[in-house]
Each structure stands twice: as C-alpha cells, then as structure tokens.
Structure 1
Amino acid sequence: MSEGNNEQKRGKVPIARKIHLKSLMLANAAKKLEKEKNERDIERNRVLKDTVPQLNTSSLSVQELQNMCKQFQQTIDGVDAERYDVEAKVSKNRNEIESLTQKVLDLKGKFKRPTLRRVRVSADEMLGALAETTYKTSLDLRSNLKSVKKEDEKEHKQAEVHDWRKNVEAMSGMEGRKKKFDSGAPPQ
C-alpha cells in the first residue's frame, strides 16, 4: 500500500512547478535555436569563402567590370536553368509517385480514409445542415405535421361533401355517368 501512495504523490505536480519546468524547457529550446542559427551562419560564410573568390574591383577598368558582370549574368542564367530543370524533374517524379501509389491502392482494394475531426454540433444546426437552410428549424416536428395533416383532411372532406351535394341531381341518370366518364373520375 505504501508503494501506491508514493506513486500517487509522484503523479501530483504543483502548477507552479509545471510552469517553472515549462519556462526552463522554453529557455533551453531558445538557446539551442540560437546555437543552430550561429552554426548555419558560420557554415554559410565558410562555403561562400570556398566557392566565391575575393574580387579586387579597384584595379579593373570599366570594360573589364562590364565583362565580369556579363560573366556573372551568364552564370546566374545557367544556375536558374538548372534549378528549373531540377524542379520540373522533382514535380514530375512526385506526380508519378502519387499516381503509382493510387494504382497500388486501387489494386489492393484499400483506399485512404481521410482523418476525420470531431465537431460538436447542436441538433438545430444538424437539421439546418441537412435541410441546407439558413433558418433554425424547431424540434417540434410532430405537432407541425399533425396540425398540417388535420387541416388538409378537413379541407379535403369539406370539398368532397360540397361537390357531392352540388352534383347529386346533375350526376343522376345516364348523363351523370357520361360526365363522370368524360371527366376521368371513377364511377361509383
């Protein structure tokens, strides 16, 4: 039992301690980022010294400076062309890889499922999304349906009763049957 109590005591870390540890971790991360940045700068300077020689432009004439600029421009154009070619190859390879992976998935019969996120939606919002409407619908749908249904039944019964009483004499005999046949109403 004493081991269980020790584990419980170790598990509880005061908020002040958590904040202190977090600030120490952030400070350590900031130091490492600064160190990485300095190392990258040193490496970049070293590579530039190795690849680009120092130029003494004070002793050169205008014509020599113009020739040097033209050479630099040609070099830049060549590098840009190479960069464009490499980017084109990379994008072509990437598209080919995607199409091949899609073919493999099709052959296996397994498809990638997108990662779904949980979204909290109220019942009104769900009904609105399902109905694709912007207004809020009430959840009391049964009472609305019943009231509409009762009104429709009353109107329907009144219309039948009214038509029946009006047409009793007109529908009697052979002429009435002929009228029903012509109007498309089923005989009674």
Structure 2
Amino acid sequence: MPEHLSERKPKISASRKLMLKSLMVAKAKEELEHEIHEKEREKHKYLAERAPSLNPSHMSVAQLQDLCRQLHDKIDLVDEERYDIEAKVLLNTREIQDLSIKVLDLRGKFKRPALRRVRVSADAILRSLLGSKHKVSMDLRANLKSVKKEDSEKKRPVEDSDWRKNVEAMSGMEGRKKMFDAAKGSAQ
C-alpha cells in the first residue's frame, strides 16, 4: 500500500463534523414543524371552503330539510367517488401482482411456499376427491404379490465345496495370472 494513502488526514475535524450534524438536525426539525403548520392551514382552508359554518337556530324547518337533502347528495357523491377510487386501486394492485409474477417468471426465480408433509391415506384422498361417491375402500397392499423365502432359496444351488480349493477361479485371478506369466515370458 502506498504511504500517502495510509497517512491520509480527514479534511474536517470531528468537532466540526458534530457541529454540522447538529445544525442539520436543527434545520430538519424546523422544516418539519413548518411543514406540519402548513398542512394544518391548508386543511382549515379546505374545510372552510367545503363546509361553511352552520347556524341551525336561525333556520326554518324547510331550510333544515333542504340542507339535509343537500348534505345527503354530497355524501352520496363522495361515497361514489370513494368506491370508484377503491375499485381502481384494487385493479391496479392486482395488475401489479400479475406483472411482478411475470417478472419473476422471466428471471427464473420462483418463490416457493413452505410445504408441510401431510400423511393421508388413499381412502382419505379418494374421499376428498370423489366426496360421497366413494364407498369402496382401497387396500393397496392386497394387490401385492407375496414372495416366499423358500422359493428363493430353492433356486440358488447350495455348494458344499471348500472355498479354498478354487480361490483363483472365484476371484478371477487365473486369467490375470496367465497374462502376467505371458508378459514375463516375452520379457526374458
């Protein structure tokens, strides 16, 4: 490693860094408070435009009924808009999910769910698939062929001969010994 890189000094001292950080935090706090006050002002302004203050004590019954009808109409309009917006949002979220699945398919990376091993018998599977139509129990072991040990032992002839007599023939050494002897004879 070169020497000029190992002895590099920071351009700003630690106390200067700390002071700058504290100034940045103070400025961010001030901006946040200003933003909160601005939102409150906008909210009050919007409410003053949309919902003027009411004084029902100076209104007649007919005026109150008319006011209620107007409020109900406005509520209905707002509910329709809300429903339309919710439908659009739901449609967009479904479309986003479909597109993200397509992207994953194109990448070749699949998110596999964690599967649990469940022990289910063949009868339970047929019952779940066929419902009440399934009456016959399916015993899979009944169709298996039974094998007797005596049959397999009779097929193999039992040799009572001594194994030491034919060691070379059993291990295949006789052929190798001949090849070794032939190579030895040609070398001399």
- Give 1 or 2: higher helix fraction: 1
Q: When the two structures are superposed, what TM-score results if normalisation uses the length of structure 2?
A: 0.46
Q: When the two structures are superposed, what TM-score results if normalisation uses the length of structure 1?
A: 0.46
Larger radius of gyration: 2
